Amino acid sequence: MSIEVVAWGEKCEKRKDFLYTMQATVKGKRELNRLNKEVPEWKSAGQGFDPNTEETIILLKCRFPEKKDWVAFAKTLSFPVHELSSRTGKKRTINGKRKNKRG
């Protein structure tokens, strides 16, 4: 299984919270069900399908009171989550396994 997730957040000044958008790429019904099971509180914001690769792209949104709450949630997911920086646009992995450097 290869669920690919990229997320980005925006600080909401009025509500004093963070709105995160998650873009997930899944292939097949099994991966879609797994994604929905792990993020049930997220609301659907859009969906697309690529007929060439047979992948479904899903946009989901959820609010978090603090950025640390988002990071804690992302670390509980069973698939890698990459976050895009709103300032620089760079991607960083939140919950990926670190490679050991031996030498």
Q: Is residue 66 part of a domain?
A: yes
Residue 101 has pLDDT above 50, yes or no: no
pTM of the model: 0.83
Reported as a single tens digit per residue, the pLDDT across 34-49 is: 999 999 999 999 999 9
Mean pLDDT on 63-85: 92
Q: Is residue 102 part of a domain?
A: no
Number of domains in the chain: 1
Q: What is the mean pLDDT of the chain?
A: 88
Reported as a single tens digit per residue, the pLDDT across 15-28 is: 889 999 999 999 99
Reported as a single tens digit per residue, the pLDDT across 52-72 is: 999 999 999 999 999 999 999
Q: Is residue 14 part of a domain?
A: yes
Higher pLDDT, 97 or 42: 42
Q: Is residue 20 part of a domain?
A: yes
Q: Is residue 98 part of a domain?
A: no
User: What pLDDT sits at residue 64?
Assistant: 95
Q: Is residue 100 part of a domain?
A: no
27 Cβ partners below 8 Å, 6+ apart?
2, 53, 54, 55, 56
Q: Is residue 103 part of a domain?
A: no
Q: Is residue 71 part of a domain?
A: yes
Question: Domain span at residue 50?
Answer: 4-93
